[in-house]
Each structure stands twice: as C-alpha cells, then as structure tokens.
Amino acid sequence: MIPLHLYLLVSAGLFCMGIYGVLARRNAVAILMGIELMLNAVNINLVAFWRYISPESLNGQVFAIFVFAVAAAEAAVGLALIISIYRNRETVIAEDVNILKW
Amino acid sequence: MTITPETVAFAIMSVLVLGGGLGVVSSRNLIHAALYLALTLFGVAGLYALFEAPFLAAVQVLVYLGAIAVLVTITIMVTRRLMGITENVNRQWPVAALIAVLAAAILGFVVISQFAGVYPTQAVPPDTIERMGQSFASHQGFLLPFEVASVLLLAAMIGAIVVARD
C-alpha cells in the first residue's frame, strides 16, 4: 500500500499550484481553472482521509460528492459571468474589469 | 517500498496530476491550459480508483472531464478574439509565487510531521456505494444536504442561463 503522506503531498502540491494560478494569472478563465485545481486538491484529501482513517463511515465520500456539486455550480455561473463581461466590455482580463473599484 | 502495480499506478497518476497542474498555471496559450486541466482531472480520477472509490472516479470523469473541462474549453473559444495577449501573469506574480511556495512548505511540513507512514487499517466495505445511495434518501443520512445541493444546482443553472443570455 501507498502511505498516506504521499497522497497528501500530491494534493498539497496541486493546491499550491492552484493558489499561484488564482493570484498570478490575468485571464479570468485561467483564474477559474486555478480554483478548479484547488477544489480537486481538497477532494483528494477528503477521499484519502476517508480511505485511510475511517473507510466504514460514508462522510468523506459524501462530502467529496457535495464538493463536486458546488464545483459544477461555480464553474457554470463563473463562466457565464465571464461570457457576459466579454460581451459588455470586450475583455476577459481580470484587472481591466474595475468598474466597481473605488 | 517495493514496486507493485499499485505503486506504479500511483507514480503515473501523480505525474499526471502535478505535471498537468504545472501546465495549467504556466501555459501562455489558454487552450493548452485547458487540455492540461483535463489531464489533471483524469489523474485525480485515477487517484480515486486507487482509493477504491470507483463511484467517485466515475463521477469525476463524468462531471469534471465531461462537463467542466468542456465548459472551460468552450468559454475560451468564445472569448478567443482577445487571446493574443503576450504576458499571461500580472504584476504581483512574484508575491503569488512566494505565497504558493510558503504554503507548500507549511503544508509539506505538517503532512510529513503528522501523517508520515500512515497505512489503512481496515478494508473498504463492499456495500459502500449501496449504503451511500441509501443514506442520500434517509432522514438519518444526508437527505437535507442532498436536497439543498439539488436546489443549488437548479439555481446555478437558471442563473447561468440568465447571466449569459443576450
């Protein structure tokens, strides 16, 4: 069997790549992709702890499924917002959308 | 650690996940980033299979690869006219890289110091998927979160249609 910490290290690496993607990329679609990476890292952790600590309970898997549902909703609404911004302002660069910036 | 089929599968899936993640955050061309994202999501599905959670692996392929990756790709293609941007990172990227490296160091330290060498003690019960399905439909289980999630998905669907409509 693979020890738990190897899975957790893979998940930590994926999460940190997601952090960098969210903070550093200019394109709003790329920012959303970074968020997807972070959600996937969290899901790997949830399922890893379910498998290694308490496989007889259902909580880890069920939590991961709710994360799936929230990720699907977030992607749909986020991408719809990006398409709407692109129609109105002809840009998908996050720092150009500054109408609400004081 | 001896080399078994499981360790080989873990090595392949880890390379897919981490290499794909690196490609997502570093590609200049967003289409390439979306393809790397699909690679990462496939690797995560493989990790679920290694966790003996076949239902989650199937849902990962269906929802993430089948829906979210396709949605991202379509959005990139729709907004393509402005894709000829030379710099793909903003001015604060050194700070972002520093934060990411610091977070990686902290997470790595915690993982190594707390969870090194933990192995599973129990086997996965063979009726896990069946019990999960029953718990989604029982008051002792997850009936209320299940219904809330369905309302959330409905609201997101209507919201996406309204926002993206002309």
Rounded to whole angstroms, the Cα distance separating A7 from A45 reads: 8
The angle subtended at Cα B158 by Cα B157 and Cα B164, nearest 5°, is 90
Q: Which pLDDT does position A94 carry in this prediction?
A: 83
| Per-residue pLDDT, B87 | 61
Asked if B30 contacts B18 with a C-beta cutoff of 8 angstroms, the reply is no
Q: Which has more pLDDT, A12 or A98?
A: A12
- What confidence tens digit (pLDDT) does each residue in B99-114 have? 999 999 999 999 999 9
Q: What is the mean pLDDT of chain B?
A: 90
- Quickly state the pLDDT bin for B49 (edges 50, 70, 90): very high
Q: What is the pLDDT of residue B79?
A: 83
**Cβ separation A51–B18 shorter than 8 A:** no
Task: Tell me chain A's radius of gyration from C-alpha atoms.
Answer: 17
In chain B, pLDDT over 90 holds for what percent of residues? 67
Nearest CA in chain A to B67: A72
CA nearest to A31 within chain B: B25
Assign B89 a pLDDT band (cuts: 50, 70, 90): confident
Query: Would the CB atoms of B85 and A90 count as touching at under 8 Å?
Result: no
Kindly list the domain boundaries of chain A, sorted by start residue. Answer: 4-89
Q: What is the DSSP letter of B68?
A: I
Q: Whole-angstrom Cα distance, residue B20 to residue B39?
A: 6
ipTM above 0.90, yes or no: yes
What would the pLDDT profile of A78-88 be if each residue is shown by its tens digit? Answer: 999 999 998 88
Q: According to the model, what pLDDT value does residue B54 have?
A: 92
Reported in sequence order, the residue ranges of chain A that DSSP labels E, i.e. its strands, are none
pLDDT at A33: 94
Q: Tell me the nearest-neighbour CA distance from B129 into chain A, angstroms.
A: 9
Model confidence over B4-40: pLDDT tens digits?
A: 999 999 999 999 999 999 999 998 888 899 999 999 9
CA B67, CA B46: separation in Å to the nearest integer?
18
By CA distance, what is A43's nearest residue in B? B44
Is the domain defined by A4-89 classed in CATH 1.10.287.3510? yes
pLDDT tens track for A31-65: 999 999 999 999 999 999 999 998 888 899 999 99
Single-letter amino acid, residue B63: V
Comparing B124 with B148, which gets the higher pLDDT? B148
User: Which chain B residue has the Cα nearest residue A38?
Assistant: B21
- Closest in A3, A5, A23 to B99, CB measured: A23
- Burial string for A30-51 (b: 16+ CB within 10 Å, else e) reads bbbbbbbbbbbbbbbbbbbbbb
Which residues in chain A (10-69) have CB-CB distances under 8 A to chain B? 10, 12-21, 23-27, 29-30, 32-34, 36-37, 40, 43-44, 47-48, 50-52, 55-56, 58, 61-62, 64-66, 68-69
pLDDT of residue B85 exceeding 70, the answer is no
Tell me how far apart the alpha carbons of residues B145 and B141 are, in angstroms, rounded to a whole number.
9
Q: How many residues does chain B have?
A: 166
Which pLDDT score is estimated for B83?
A: 56
Q: Do A75 and B71 touch (CB under 8 A)?
A: yes
CA-based nearest distance A55→chain B, Å: 5
Distance from CA of A39 to the nearest CA of B (A): 11
Q: Which amino acid is at B159?
A: G
pLDDT of residue B86: 56
Indicate if the alpha-carbon torsion angle B61, B15, B93, A18 is positive or negative.
positive
Mean pLDDT over each residue of chain A, to the nearest integer: 91
Whether residue B78 is predicted with pLDDT greater than 70 in this model: the reply is yes
A17, B39 Cβ separation under 8 angstroms: no
Are the C-beta atoms of B37 and B20 separated by less than 8 Å? yes
Give the C-alpha separation, B59 to A33, whole Å: 19
The pair of structure tokens assigned to B43 is 């690797």
Checking if the pLDDT of B50 tops 60, the result is yes
Lowest mean pLDDT among A16-20, A47-51, B73-77, B144-148: B73-77
Q: Please count the other Cβ atoms lying within 10 Å of the Cβ belonging to residue B119.
A: 9
